[in-house]
Amino acid sequence: MSYIREAWYPVVWADRVGRELTRHVVLEEPIVIYRLQDGGIAALQDSCPHRLAPLSLGRLKGDDIECGYHGMTFDCAGKCVLIPGQDIIPGRALVRAYPVQVKYGLVWLYMGDARNADPSKIFHIEQYDDPAWHAVQGDTLRIECNYLSLCDNLLDPAHVTFVHATTLGTPAGATVPVNNEYHGNEICVWRWIRNAEPIGVFAKFGGLTGMVDRWHYYNYSTPSYFKIDMGSCPTGSIPDMERRSEGTQMYTCHVLTPVDQRTVLQHWFHVRNFRTNEFEMDADLSASLDMAFREDKVILERIQLEEERAPDFKRIILGIDAAPMKMRRMVDKLIQAEAAPRPTA
């Protein structure tokens, strides 16, 4: 199995990147990340081409990295600028440098051909910078499962009733059918549950007490970006489903980093349109969301082990699997397109 490489992936929260050399792994590639003297961020292949020593074990000299084994030194573009004891620097003495962007508090790397690194392709949510909304940096959860299993999960309203019974779901939703919409490399799975109890998170933080109409819109786009629109309003108060922002609404955003075939990083944050000035509730709300995401982690890590134990298992397909299966076909198609020979210019 492979990955979509021509895409931006988030790797770490920008406020955790300093002048120390830190190692990360994205799409099975080890990468050393560090803060430059001008405040920028550099991302280099974390392998000295001489003996494979991780450059992250070396030393930062200005904006260059000196390998900790023999002192080969690379600038922040990956070019070798010094080999101690040797005047000639071989042409192959370089390490890959990854295009870097900072957006929504995260460091994003372009994992494909650097010439294709268009920052406009990074995950986007228009409410993030809208003064009527409040954005809160969440956290990163490391899950020991294939990233596609987490993608399945983030396209799946049906599990909410069972996995998140007290946080994001209530029994009322169990039998309401979902709608699936597909546009290019995007999927939206959504449903409204009418005249129901509010879910735990909205009851606690949104101040909703009576019966509500509530909705979930799970928006996916390749490679592994998710924007989940959850909200509620007093029963019957929003007749036009497109005017959801008049209700109590929150987007939880999940942008995933496939580390390897059995590890994924789930970076998440949220933006909300209620109590936008009450920063003191941010940590509480984040803690509730974190607890819910950890409920998924338990299930997903066990399923990973089961799949490894029974690789020939033939699963049965349910109606709720339509969107996850479509997502996997979208991913496969992009991977195959990348693998195809390109016409030369």
155 sits near a second copy (criterion: CB under 8 A):
no
Residue 43 and residue 55 in contact, taking contact as beta carbons nearer than 8 Å = no
Residue 41 and residue 100 in contact, taking contact as beta carbons nearer than 8 Å = yes
Among 39, 177, 341, 343, the residue binding a second copy under the rule CB under 8 A is 177
36 sits near a second copy (criterion: CB under 8 A):
no
69 sits near a second copy (criterion: CB under 8 A):
yes
CA distance 187 to 18: 37
- Return the range that interacts with a second copy (CB under 8 A); candidates 64-72, 120-128, 182-190, 215-223: 64-72
Closest distance of CB 202 from a second copy, Å: 22
311 sits near a second copy (criterion: CB under 8 A):
no
Closest to a second copy by CB, 165 vs 281, is 165
Closest to a second copy by CB, 163 vs 201, is 163
322 sits near a second copy (criterion: CB under 8 A):
no
- Single out the residue of 5, 261, 230 nearest to residue 109, CA to CA: 5
What angle do the packed helices 282-309 and 147-154 form, to 10 degrees? 120
H or E element: which one contains 232? Answer: strand 225-234
178 sits near a second copy (criterion: CB under 8 A):
yes
Among 162, 194, 209, 246, the residue binding a second copy under the rule CB under 8 A is 162
312 sits near a second copy (criterion: CB under 8 A):
no
CA distance 20 to 8: 23
H or E element: which one contains 288? Answer: helix 282-309
> Judged by CB under 8 A, how many residues of this single chain contact a second copy?
49
- Single out the residue of 62, 63, 80 nearest to residue 71, CA to CA: 80
333 sits near a second copy (criterion: CB under 8 A):
no
Closest to a second copy by CB, 12 vs 93, is 93
192-198 long-range Cβ contacts below 8 angstroms, 24+ apart: 192/241, 194/235, 195/235, 195/236, 196/170, 196/172, 197/170, 197/172, 198/170, 198/232
Closest to a second copy by CB, 30 vs 105, is 30
Closest to a second copy by CB, 83 vs 281, is 83
Closest distance of CB 152 from a second copy, Å: 8
**What are the beta bridge partners of residue 141?**
266
Closest to a second copy by CB, 161 vs 288, is 161
Closest to a second copy by CB, 39 vs 85, is 85
313 sits near a second copy (criterion: CB under 8 A):
yes
Q: How many residues does the chain have?
A: 345
For residue 49, the one-letter residue type is P
Among 22, 63, 64, 68, the residue binding a second copy under the rule CB under 8 A is 68
Q: Give the C-alpha distances (Å, rounded to integers) separating 174 from 69, 107, 230, 322.
A: 59, 38, 16, 17
Task: Beginning with the edge strand found earlier in the chain, give each strand of the sheet holding 59-61 in spatial order.
Answer: 59-61, 64-66, 73-74, 80-82
Closest distance of CB 127 from a second copy, Å: 30
176 sits near a second copy (criterion: CB under 8 A):
yes
- Return the range that interacts with a second copy (CB under 8 A); candidates 105-113, 151-159, 277-285, 334-342: 151-159
Interior CA angle at 108 toward 103 and 113, to 5°? 130
Residues within the interface to a second copy (CB under 8 A):
30, 47, 49-54, 57, 66-72, 83-86, 90, 92-93, 156, 158-159, 161-163, 174-178, 298-299, 302-303, 306-307, 309-310, 313, 315-320
